[in-house]
Amino acid sequence: MLSVRDLHAGYGTKEILKGISLDVASGEIRAILGGSGCGKSTLLRNILGLETPWSGTARVLGEDLSIAGGASLGLLSRIGVLFQGGALVTSLSVGQNVMLPLVVDGIDPTGAAQELARARLSQVGLENVWGQFPGELSGGMRKRAALARALVREPRLLFCDEPSAGLDPLTSRALDELLLELRESLGLTIVIVSHEIESIKCLAEKILFLQDGLVLYDGPLDQGISQGPERVRDFFERRTGSVQRLKPSTWEIIE
């Protein structure tokens, strides 16, 4: 489904990803996680072809999206992306947003596209917001509408960038459960970029833990929590790390 090999990437002269490799099998839910600034979102942007890697390859369903000229529409129609803030086009209504990928495919928005979009909105529990604009929705509703848009082409692979970010725990949990249901009903493979521990524990079977642009751990979630590197265990137990915990006083003391 997804194969990344020795990927190096960055911005300007700053290298963010220092040789990432990753394989995601069909039907898997894989979480890419790590602390802020570790390179999670950069990895996703390079996989999706939104940035060009310095070296290495990222093949999605057998094709490299970063190759100049862009990927074929056929390939992109088998991929769905849920962006962090939803990234709904604010000048279009929710219904139009969900139909947008179909319109890009050349389908007339007055016919079958409407039926498909309504079906997806219904699937994410948003039957009554068709004519509303993104600015009129709550954060959770925007995420669900964006999820409906990502699923409208019935993709095989779904990328989610921080799906729970900015949501309250209940809404976040509901979104996680929705993703699990959709995985079952649509046979999706899901790649999630996140640092929300509860969400990862609920969704992921395998994790890729990044630190400073390198892979610190790649394997099953349970094993990572119980026997993974100390930094990974610290992350799941919300500990700040042994070095900081035992920081000695810097004051010169006369008794």
Partner 1 sequence: MPDISLPSQLDRAWALGTGRDLASRVKQTDLTLAGGQVEHVDVLAAGAIHSLRRIAQHHGHRVRLSAPSRVLLERLDALDPGPEPPRPETLPVPDFLERLGRGAFARAEDASQALTFGLEMTLGTLALVTRRERSWPGAVWRQLHELGTLALPVVLLLTGLIGLTLALLMGQQLEQYGASIHLATLMGVSFLREVGPLLTAVILAGRSGSAITAELASMQVQEEVDAIHAMGARTASFLVAPRLLALMISMPFLALFASGAGVLAGLVVAVFRLGLSPDIYFQVLLQALEAKDIFFLFLKSMVFAFIIAFLACRTGLATRGGSDAVGRATTHTVVAGIFWTVIADCLFALALYL
Q: Which of 52, 240, 197 is nearest to 209 (CA)?
A: 197
Residues in 39-78 at the binding interface with partner 1, rule: CB under 8 A: 45, 48, 50, 70-71, 73, 76-77
Min dist. Cβ of residue 38 to partner 1 (A): 20
CB of 77 to partner 1, least distance (A): 7
Least spacing, CB of residue 83 vs partner 1, in Å: 5
Structure tokens given for 18? 């220092």
User: For residue 29, what are the contacts with CB-CB under 8 A and spacing of at least 6?
Assistant: 179, 183, 189, 190, 192, 203, 204, 205, 206
Is 83 a binding residue for partner 1 by CB under 8 A? The answer is yes
Binding partner 1 (rule: CB under 8 A), the pick from 25, 67, 89, 112 is 89
Among 68, 170, 246, 253, binds partner 1 (CB under 8 A): 253
Q: Which of 56, 109, 139, 220 binds partner 1 (CB under 8 A)?
A: 109
Shortest Å distance, C-beta 186 to partner 1: 18
Residue in 103, 125, 187, 222 binding partner 1, rule: CB under 8 A:
103
Binding to partner 1 by residue 140, rule CB under 8 A?
no
Phi, psi at 17, each rounded to 5°:
-105, 125
Considering only 3, 57, 84, 211, the residue that binds partner 1 (CB under 8 A) is 84
Are 91 and 150 in contact, with CB atoms under 8 Å apart? no
- Ramachandran class of 82: left when φ > 0, alpha when ψ lies in -120 to 50, beta otherwise: beta
- The CA distance from 255 to 250, in Å, is 15
